[in-house]
A and B are shown apart, each in its own frame.
Chain A
Amino acid sequence: MVSPVRSICIVGGGTAGWLTAGIIAARHASESGRGLQITLVESETIGIVGVGEGTWPTMRTTLKKIGISETDFFRECNASFKQGAKFARWVTGEESDFYYHPLVLPQGFPSLDLAPFWTKYSDEHADAPSFSDAVCFQQAVCELGLAPKLITSPEYAGVANYAYHLDAGRFAAFIRDHCVKNLGIRHIVDDVTDVVKKDTGDIDYVETSKSGRLGGDLFIDCSGFRSLLLGQTMGVPFVECSDVLFIDRALAMQVPYDDAQSDIVPHTVSVAQKHGWIWDIGLQSRRGVGYVFSSNHTTADAALAELRAYVGDEHRDLQPREIRIVPGHRQTFWKGNCVAVGLAGGFLEPLEASALVLIELSADMISTMMPATRETMDIVAKRFNETTRYRWDRIIDFLKLHYILSKRTDSKFWIDNRDPDSIPDSLKEQMELWRYRAPGDQDFTSNNEMFPAASYQYVLFGMGFRMDTRVSPLDRDIGTAQRAFAQNETLKVKWTKTLPKNRDLINKIKELGLQKI
């Protein structure tokens, strides 16, 4: 006697809930009536956290997969293009200090590794270009405020790799409408009052105020920081990582543009401050700006003063929203017949926009590994937990990498961040290897890697890390490298001449639309 998995109950309707619903429904033909039945219950009284405004390029595939038109997405979600991140004042704190983590891979990567050639050249030339500028044309595109594609580019295709900035509130509503209208998801607006378990320890049903009991063979916890199902009901403990990543507080603001047609910056800007860093994200109608800091190193008032200094006196009337972050994640993410996606599973500071991508990856994994029966669910759960834990660990390593190379000494925050006791062993090991050779795919061998080796290169060399190239000789003839550097310069000229301004293209997409092909 087997118990087939036929119905899913998702609790919570923020970005996590609706994206998960959409991804599973699109694969499992929920609209046909013969596939998996999905119910999503969300509260009217509990708002969404909604600060996830930066995506990865994966979002293009995700939206396409669930059947959304990119044109509609731009029209409805206040969305704009994101071509990576610009990190300012992270190394020395000086005004001129910046580097890019673009989304386009270094020229020739991974078959060609330009890092040792660039290192050698910049050892010998004081006026050498920065790593990101020397190996990737996208920095030049970003510095000029250009879009990553043309009006003739098909939906979801680009000249340069890109992701999005979006309004999280509007995005959740947009995906919700699509899910309800086109993907056959049952939507219930109600408050969950109780979660009731069976003798086996599985969740039996959730009790709601007006809609009665909602059952399911699998429950997906998208209830946000509360972690109503996985944390509160299933009792899965929380693993804090504040000993590695110190940021535990955010002050967020929505800053209007001077002019409705002001340029939209086509990348995330991250400006290091005394006790953390400020994000600055350009949407169509406003900027999202926020200061994430460590409350162990400064007070909210002092942080607010830093944030106000950044946004300028003309916005002194804006009131920030304060968000408390406990950095970390659940010990496991799937227990019994309950799996958590989004904040219910954990959260780290928004550096490198890992929140939304983890939702996509988790939902995708649940969808593709969907157990056919309750009996096989524990096997899937075990694999899901291993992979998800691996992903969290890699994100933590990669975020920490941004801090350990800073030369800033203007506060205890930056000095404490370099304390070896605060650096995970896995990262320490990598750093040992990278003293003599650049990060490569051989350092990241899982099928479930988060960041490509190229991302480590961008951050490592952007932060001023110096490799010792004397020990191991360059493994390729210099001619190949020179051609790749020259090709990068050619691409820079070509695309900075051809690509439109970010705002102009977004206006055009809203007016004329992009073609599907």
Chain B
Amino acid sequence: MRLVELSRSEHAGLRIRDDLVEASAASQHLIPIVVSEFRKAAIQYPIVFSKNPETGRFAPYVMNGLGLQENLFWSGTEMDVAYVPLNVRRLPFYVGTNDDAPDTNVLCIDLDNPCLDGSGGKRIVNPDGSDSAYLKEMLSILGALVAGKAATEQFIATALSLDLLTPILLDIVLDDGTPLQVEGLYSLDEEKFRQLDEGEIAKLWKTGCLDLIYTVLIASGQIIKLIRLKNQRIALSRAWHSNAG
């Protein structure tokens, strides 16, 4: 990865192949999301929580796979999903911070991302030097991520203060006999949530957290989809080996 601040003049000649953007997620088993994405994410993925390895702070993620580097939704050319998270769609752009002014956001681009390709159809600026429609779309995605950060942190803080986060324990054996183990993933504790008193529920409702909690609880059922996809892969691989044999 080679992150640099985007310069409309210096990077004016860059071409981007947007059909390659999703390939960046081909071996990502978790993708971070913000709370404003929860409803859309819930129709496709389990929403889980995990700790940032650098800070130990919790953040929400969608789950693409059951093991490290496994993306069961990756078809080989694209994410075969109803909703692609903002953190994939924004690529190859990033929001960075400036060392001199840590509170200001800086638009950055990863010059090593494979979607930067001379044959690409997307450009950053129009011939007249103004921002292209493509760049404007990227800016609005990044804007949604930046805007969602505080609300997401607030939701996590609320969940932690009510002791609602709990490590995920899965008791599943895959079709090839391997027991399924997940490590370092957390979900919402439904039992504890049901025990909250009226006052606490009212507070959750007023702050918009109640919707989010239900969304996460419903999305947790999507784990079945991942297990099915995983078992299909196992069956395919068996078929392949028996044919080869």
Q: Mark A residues whose CB is within 8 Å of B.
A: 150-153, 508, 512-517
With a cutoff of 8 Å between Cβ atoms, the chain B residues found around residue A517 in the complex are 165-167, 186
A513-B56, A515-B51 are known; give 12 further A-B pairs, CB within 8 A.
A150-B53, A151-B51, A151-B54, A152-B53, A152-B184, A508-B56, A512-B55, A512-B56, A512-B57, A515-B58, A515-B160, A517-B167
Closest 7 CB pairs of A and B: A151-B56, A152-B51, A152-B56, A512-B55, A152-B53, A512-B56, A517-B165
With a cutoff of 8 Å between Cβ atoms, the chain B residues found around residue A514 in the complex are 56
In this complex, how many residues of chain B approach chain A with their Cβ under 8 Å: the count is 15
Judging by beta carbons under 8 Å apart, are B167 and A515 in contact? no
Least Cβ distance of A354 to chain B in Å? 33
Least Cβ distance of B185 to chain A in Å? 12
With a cutoff of 8 Å between Cβ atoms, the chain A residues found around residue B56 in the complex are 150-153, 508, 512-515
With a cutoff of 8 Å between Cβ atoms, the chain A residues found around residue B163 in the complex are 516
Query: What are 13 A-B pairs at a CB distance below 8 A?
Result: A151-B53, A151-B56, A508-B55, A512-B55, A512-B57, A515-B56, A515-B160, A516-B160, A516-B163, A517-B165, A517-B166, A517-B167, A517-B186
With a cutoff of 8 Å between Cβ atoms, the chain A residues found around residue B167 in the complex are 517
Bound Cα distance A514, B58 (Å): 11
Mark interface residues in B166-181 (1 if CB within 8 Å of A CB, else 0): 1100000000000000
With a cutoff of 8 Å between Cβ atoms, the chain B residues found around residue A153 in the complex are 56
Bound Cα distance A160, B37 (Å): 38
Bound Cα distance A508, B54 (Å): 9
List residues 177-194 of chain B with CB under 8 A from any CB of chain A: 184, 186
Residue of B nearest to A153 (CB): B56
Least Cβ distance of B32 to chain A in Å? 15
Least Cβ distance of A158 to chain B in Å? 13
Least Cβ distance of B188 to chain A in Å? 12
With a cutoff of 8 Å between Cβ atoms, the chain A residues found around residue B54 in the complex are 151
Residue of B nearest to A511 (CB): B55
Bound Cα distance A150, B51 (Å): 11
Bound Cα distance A508, B57 (Å): 11
With a cutoff of 8 Å between Cβ atoms, the chain A residues found around residue B51 in the complex are 151-152, 515
With a cutoff of 8 Å between Cβ atoms, the chain B residues found around residue A513 in the complex are 56
Residue of B nearest to A513 (CB): B56
Judging by beta carbons under 8 Å apart, are A151 and B55 in contact? yes
Bound Cα distance A517, B163 (Å): 9
Residue of A nearest to B50 (CB): A152
Residue of B nearest to A509 (CB): B56
Bound Cα distance A511, B240 (Å): 52
With a cutoff of 8 Å between Cβ atoms, the chain A residues found around residue B52 in the complex are 152
Bound Cα distance A151, B57 (Å): 9
Name which of A512, A513, A515, A517 has the most chain B CB atoms within 10 A of its CB: A517
With a cutoff of 8 Å between Cβ atoms, the chain A residues found around residue B166 in the complex are 517
Bound Cα distance A512, B81 (Å): 36
With a cutoff of 8 Å between Cβ atoms, the chain B residues found around residue A150 in the complex are 53, 56
Residue of A nearest to B51 (CB): A152
Bound Cα distance A153, B184 (Å): 9
Bound Cα distance A150, B184 (Å): 12
With a cutoff of 8 Å between Cβ atoms, the chain B residues found around residue A516 in the complex are 160, 163
Bound Cα distance A512, B186 (Å): 19
Bound Cα distance A390, B163 (Å): 42
Mark interface residues in B25-52 (1 if CB within 8 Å of A CB, else 0): 0000000000000000000000000011
Least Cβ distance of B71 to chain A in Å? 22
Residue of A nearest to B167 (CB): A517
Residue of B nearest to A515 (CB): B56
Bound Cα distance A153, B57 (Å): 11
Least Cβ distance of B104 to chain A in Å? 22
Least Cβ distance of B232 to chain A in Å? 32
Residue of B nearest to A512 (CB): B55
Bound Cα distance A367, B186 (Å): 35
Name which of A150, A508, A515 has the most chain B CB atoms within 10 A of its CB: A515
Mark interface residues in B109-137 (1 if CB within 8 Å of A CB, else 0): 00000000000000000000000000000
Name which of B55, B56, B160, B163 has the most chain A CB atoms within 10 A of its CB: B56
Residue of B nearest to A505 (CB): B56
Mark interface residues in B98-113 (1 if CB within 8 Å of A CB, else 0): 0000000000000000
With a cutoff of 8 Å between Cβ atoms, the chain A residues found around residue B165 in the complex are 517
Bound Cα distance A515, B156 (Å): 12
Least Cβ distance of B191 to chain A in Å? 15
Mark interface residues in B182-211 (1 if CB within 8 Å of A CB, else 0): 001010000000000000000000000000
Least Cβ distance of A147 to chain B in Å? 13
With a cutoff of 8 Å between Cβ atoms, the chain A residues found around residue B184 in the complex are 152
Bound Cα distance A512, B166 (Å): 20
List residues 45-102 of chain B with CB under 8 A from any CB of chain A: 51-58
Least Cβ distance of B1 to chain A in Å? 21
With a cutoff of 8 Å between Cβ atoms, the chain A residues found around residue B160 in the complex are 515-516
Name which of A152, A153, A508, A515 has the most chain B CB atoms within 10 A of its CB: A152
With a cutoff of 8 Å between Cβ atoms, the chain A residues found around residue B58 in the complex are 515
With a cutoff of 8 Å between Cβ atoms, the chain A residues found around residue B186 in the complex are 517
Bound Cα distance A516, B53 (Å): 15
Bound Cα distance A398, B94 (Å): 59
Bound Cα distance A511, B54 (Å): 12
Least Cβ distance of A123 to chain B in Å? 41
Residue of B nearest to A514 (CB): B56
With a cutoff of 8 Å between Cβ atoms, the chain B residues found around residue A151 in the complex are 51, 53-56
